[in-house]
């Protein structure tokens, strides 16, 4: 069965600092991996996804993530945080032809001045 | 292109009452999903439709939850009777196809509070 672990339910960074949100997955077959962002009282918006092409995936708003099979990881990074990045971030996995998404518990990103 | 529409946005009911949520997916999207997001947790899939057929309802509490997508377009999710633990945000999502690589597009959700 597929699963996702997000380390750190809350992450706080200063504006302009590096953002690193961690995601580890478990999957019995080659996975598809996703990062979604959720702003207060809104639905989830796709940031980026890995679908077995390039292992370094670039997304919207300057975010990127690297798929590392040996570490079963798909960490999300952004070189310089902006106040508007404050939100909840979810990592998710799906397998093969089954599109069911299994989500992690989320990481709330706080950006301070 | 219009996104996924959901209504109502908020609902407050008492336990043992019934409630229904509506979802209209992005035009042309064959696959529709309902997720439950409890406070502090990630969304959990309740049911997945491909056109008007059910693909996965393994985590749907069928004694109280039901869902339908009669014409393969919009969908309703019903809870009857509601319990306190049903308080959550109910998210509807849609995707063009049903494979694992497809992007799911989410609506704004319906926030349910059961008193």
Q: Which of A49, A51, A99 to mutate to test the interface with B (most CBs of B within 10 A)?
A: A99
CA-CA distance, B65 to B87, in Å (whole number)? 13
Residues B69-97, mean pLDDT to the nearest whole number? 95
Residue B16 has pLDDT above 70, yes or no: yes
- How much is the mean pLDDT over chain B? 94
A70 at B interface, C-beta within 8 A: no
Q: Are B103 and A90 a contacting pair at CB < 8 A?
A: no
Residue of B nearest to A89 (CA): B42
Instruction: Take residue B115 and report the two structure tokens written for it.
Output: 């008193």
Q: Are B91 and A44 a contacting pair at CB < 8 A?
A: yes
Give me the pLDDT at residue B97, please. Answer: 86
Which among B91, B96, B111, B105 is positioned nearest to B29, based on CA atoms? B96
Residue B1 has pLDDT above 70, yes or no: no
CB-CB neighbors (< 8 A) of B109 in chain A: 42-43
- How much is the mean pLDDT over chain A? 93
Residue that the structure tokens 């349910």 belong to:
B112
Which among A66, A74, A65 is positioned nearest to A93, based on CA atoms? A74
Residue A41 has pLDDT above 90, yes or no: no
Residue that the structure tokens 């079963």 belong to:
A72
CB-CB neighbors (< 8 A) of B41 in chain A: 105-106
Strands B44-50 and B31-37: antiparallel
What percent of chain B is predicted at pLDDT more than 90?
87
What percent of chain A is predicted at pLDDT more than 70?
98
Burial of A5 (0-12, 13-18, 19+ CB in 10 A): middle
């Amino acid at each position: 069965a597929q699963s996702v672990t997000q380390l750190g339910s809350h992450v706080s960074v200063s504006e302009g600092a590096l953002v690193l949100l961690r995601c580890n997955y478990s999957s019995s077959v080659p996975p598809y991996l996703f990062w979604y962002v959720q702003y207060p009282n809104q639905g989830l918006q796709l940031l980026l996804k890995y679908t077995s092409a390039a292992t370094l995936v670039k997304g919207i708003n300057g975010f990127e993530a690297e798929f590392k099979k040996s570490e079963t990881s798909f960490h999300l990074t952004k070189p310089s945080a902006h106040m508007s990045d404050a939100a909840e971030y979810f990592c998710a996995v799906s397998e093969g032809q089954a599109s069911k998404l299994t989500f992690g518990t989320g990481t709330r990103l706080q950006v301070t001045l | 292109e219009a996104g996924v529409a959901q209504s109502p946005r908020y609902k407050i009911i008492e336990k043992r009452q019934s409630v229904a949520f509506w979802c209209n997916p992005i035009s042309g999207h064959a696959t529709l999903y309902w997720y439950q997001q409890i406070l502090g947790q990630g969304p959990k899939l309740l049911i997945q439709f491909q056109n008007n057929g059910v693909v996965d309802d393994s985590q749907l509490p069928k004694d109280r939850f039901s869902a339908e997508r009669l014409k393969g377009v919009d969908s309703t999710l019903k809870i009857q009777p509601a319990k306190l633990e049903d308080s959550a945000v109910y998210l509807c999502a849609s995707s063009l196809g049903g494979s694992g690589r497809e992007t799911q597009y989410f609506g704004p959700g319906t926030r349910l509070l059961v008193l």
